[in-house]
Amino acid sequence: MKILVLNGPNLNLLGEREPGIYGSDTLSSICQTISQEAQELGAECIFFQSNHEGALIDKLHELRHDVDGILLNAGAYTHYSYALRDAIAGVRLPCVELHLSNVHAREEFRHQSVLAPVCIGVVCGFGADSYSLALTGLVRHIAKKQAK
């Protein structure tokens, strides 16, 4: 089982960007942890981060036949990227939206996700553990579908 882990804008600055909100873990350390957890679950992760919306969409299109699901921390694109939403719907792969912070306890503009309606679930507010929780849920979802 292969999982595409997509990270959007500014996530390359994790560990130094607003640690009071996003924590002190770097994106690299989160990816290492997720990679190990994926192996324990019988999965493999492919990681990609970009600050550019089109690059995220291009990666989704490129790997749509090579992966079984998507973990997506789209950052600010969560709230307004209809192009990313359409790409997720178009590749027809199970996708879990995730966020380090509890977006519902933050500014009002962060309360609305245009991506959630095309995702199988949303995990937010658990810091770096949001990735682990999302990964576990996605792998279980895919395994159940494959068992049918």
Diameter of the chain measured on Cα atoms: 44
Instruction: Say whether 77 is catalytic.
Output: no
Strands of the sheet containing 2-7, edge to edge, are 44-49, 2-7, 69-73, 95-99, 121-124
Structure-token pair, residue 112: 């609305």
Instruction: Check 52, 77, 79, 99 and give the catalytic one.
Output: 99
Instruction: Say whether 79 is catalytic.
Output: no
Instruction: Check 22, 80, 111, 141 and give the catalytic one.
Output: 22
Residues belonging to the active site: 22, 99
